[in-house]
A and B are shown apart, each in its own frame.
Chain A
Amino acid sequence: MNAISDALIITKRQLQQLIRVPEVLIFNTIQPVMFVLLFRYVFGGLGAGIPGGYVQLLMPGIFVQTVTFTLAATAQGLAQDMEKGLIDRFRSLPIARSAVVMGRTLGDGLLNIVVLIVMGLAGYAVGWRPTSGPLHIFAGFLMLLFFGYALSWAGVFGGLFSKDARVVGNISFLFTFPLTFLSNAFAQTTSMPKPLQYFAEWNPVSTMVAATRQLFGFHNKFGVTAHSYPSEHPVTTSLVYMVVIMAVFMPLSVRRYKNRQ
Chain B
Amino acid sequence: MKSVVAENLVKTYSKGSVRALDGLSLDVEEGTVLGVLGPNGSGKTTTVRILATLLKPDSGHAIVGGIDVIKNPKAVREIIGLSGQYAAVDETLTGWENLVMFGRLYHLSADQARVRARELLEQFSLTDAAKRPIKTFSGGMRRRLDLAASLIIRPKVLFLDEPTTGLDPRGRMDMWGVIEGLVKEGVTLLLTTQYLDEADQLSDDIAVIDRGTVIARGTSDHLKDKVGGERLEIVVSEKDITAARQIIDRVSGSTSTVDAGLRKISAPVTSGSAALVGVIREFDAQGLHALDVALKRPSLDDVFMSLTGHAAEEEKLEEAKAKKRGARK
Is A181 among interface residues, defined by CB-CB distance under 8 A? Answer: no
A interface residues, tally (CB under 8 Å):
27
- B 76-92 binary contact with A (CB < 8 Å = 1; else 0): 01101010111111111
Stretch of A46-54, A80-88, A183-191, A205-213 contacting B (4+ beta carbons < 8 Å): A80-88
Asked if A84 contacts B88 (CB within 8 A), the reply is: yes
Query: How many residue pairs between the two chains, A and B, have CB atoms under 8 Å in the bound complex?
Result: 73
With A16-B93, A20-B133 as given contacts, are A94 and B55 in contact (CB-CB < 8 Å)?
Answer: no
A85 CB contact (under 8 Å) in B84, B102, B107? B84
Q: How far is the CB of B80 from chain A (nearest CB, A)?
A: 7
Which of chain B's residues has its CB closest to A96's CB? Answer: B74
| A-chain residues with CB within 8 Å of residue B52 when the two chains form the complex | 92
Q: Mark B96-122, 1 if CB is under 8 A from A, else 0.
A: 010001101111000000000000000
Closest to A167 in B: B329
Q: Are the C-beta atoms of B101 and A9 separated by less than 8 Å?
A: yes
B101 with A163: CB separation less than 8 A: no
Which residues of chain A come closer than 8 Å to B97, judged between CB atoms? 13, 16
CA distance A16 to B92 in the complex (A): 9
Taking the closest CB of chain A, its distance from the CB of B133, in whole angstroms, is 6
Interface size class of B (residues with CB under 8 A): 35 or more
B265 to chain A, nearest CB (A): 43
In the complex, what distance in Å separates the CA atom of A201 from the CA atom of B56?
Answer: 45
Q: A89 touching B107 by the CB < 8 A rule?
A: no
CA distance A92 to B149 in the complex (A): 12
Least Cβ–Cβ distance between A181 and chain B, in angstroms: 27
**A163–B55 CA distance with the chains assembled, in angstroms:** 17
Shortest distance from the beta carbon of B254 to any chain A beta carbon, whole Å: 41
For B13, the chain A residues whose CB sits under 8 A away are 261
The CA-CA distance from A99 to B93 in the complex, in Å, is 19
| Given A13-B90, A92-B82, also A164-B149 (CB < 8 A) | no
Q: Tell which of A21, A94, A164 touches B77, judged by Cβ atoms closer than 8 Å.
A: A94
Chain B residues contacting A2 (CB-CB under 8 Å) are 107
Name 7 A/B residue pairs within 8 A (Cβ), A-sorted: A13-B90, A84-B91, A86-B89, A89-B88, A90-B105, A94-B106, A167-B329
The 3 A-B residue pairs with the shortest CB-CB distance, nearest first, are A85-B88, A89-B88, A94-B77
